[in-house]
Amino acid sequence: MHRTGELYGHFETLEQQKETATLGMWVFLVTEVLFFGGLFMTYTINRHAFSTAFGVGSNTLDLTLGGGNTVVLILSSLTMAMAVWSAQVGKVGWFGIFGKVRWVSIFLIATLVLGTVFLGVKVVEYKQKFDHHLVPGRGFDIRYRSEHPTASDNPKEIAAEKEELEKAFAKDPDINAHAQLYFSLYFGMTGLHALHMIVGAGLLLWLIKGSFAGRFTPQYNTPVEVVGLYWHFVDIVWIYLFPLLYLIDRHQ
């Protein structure tokens, strides 16, 4: 397909091309909603069936890391929105030794940094789950044991957790199996979300390269806008995941 400037040959105008790209991304996001939908359905059914086990599962998650990550991600949505805006108005600024730089590049880099921070924190959280024997499989053990390091060092909180676990065991003797379901879903949902973040980071790298090459102007900035849509969608998925996995039934 030949192309003239930024206009691909099978389009008549740049507006048509932009409308097409944007609609394409929206349709893609609709399929993404359905894709995550299957997981949310599985989550809902199991949460309803095993609310005790799921509550205990929530307790083991680190609220500080999860909450902090939520803030990081919302901030990244802000910087992404700023990137789209500065691409549209073509804002340029002076950055000391770097000289004249387009604001869109700055905001894209900020988004990428925040996204990477999020993924880094996720790695820390995953490692905790491995340390705490909370990965579904043979070594899984939801029971509190003194040799397992816990999320919190506060003895009061540890004691409360221990007591809560005993109650939960009384309610649901199969809790060790059911809590594995919770963690299967935890890893499935957050893992799929993280995969989307990694794809998003790749797209951001591509945009940053394009923006330093001066590709994005007030006349042509469709890629920034379309990737922006994707990025916001991935953030919104997290906005649902966070309360579902971290907050519901926490420390009844």
Q: Give 170: exposed, middle or buried? Use CB within 10 Å, 0-12, 13-18, 19+.
A: exposed
Q: How far is the CB of 53 from other proteins (least distance, A)?
A: 8
CA distance 53 to 181: 9
CA distance 56 to 250: 7
Pick from 47, 102, 129, 178: which binds other proteins (CB under 8 A)? 178
Q: Which of residues 134-153 bind other proteins (CB under 8 A)?
A: 136-137
Q: Which residue, 16 or 152, is less far from other proteins as judged by CB?
A: 16
**Tokens matching residue 35:** 């894709």
Q: Which residue, 24 or 67, is less far from other proteins as judged by CB?
A: 24
Q: Which residue, 115 or 136, is less far from other proteins as judged by CB?
A: 136
Pick from 51, 88, 116, 184: which binds other proteins (CB under 8 A)? 184
CA distance 228 to 10: 25
Q: Which of residues 17-46 bind other proteins (CB under 8 A)?
A: 19-20, 23-24, 27-28, 30-32, 34-39, 41-42, 45-46
Distance of CA 91 to the CA centre of its chain: 29
Q: Which of residues 72-131 bind other proteins (CB under 8 A)?
A: none
Q: Which residue, 28 or 98, is less far from other proteins as judged by CB?
A: 28
Binding residues with other proteins: total (CB under 8 A): 36
Could you say whether residue 9 binds other proteins (CB under 8 A)? yes
Could you say whether residue 213 binds other proteins (CB under 8 A)? no
CA distance 112 to 203: 10
Q: Which residue, 98 or 206, is less far from other proteins as judged by CB?
A: 206
Q: Give 164: exposed, middle or buried? Use CB within 10 Å, 0-12, 13-18, 19+.
A: middle
Q: Which residue, 50 or 242, is less far from other proteins as judged by CB?
A: 50
CA distance 142 to 57: 8
Where on the chain is the footprint of other proteins (CB under 8 A)? 1, 9-10, 12, 16, 19-20, 23-24, 27-28, 30-32, 34-39, 41-42, 45-46, 49-50, 136-137, 174, 177-178, 180-181, 184-185, 188
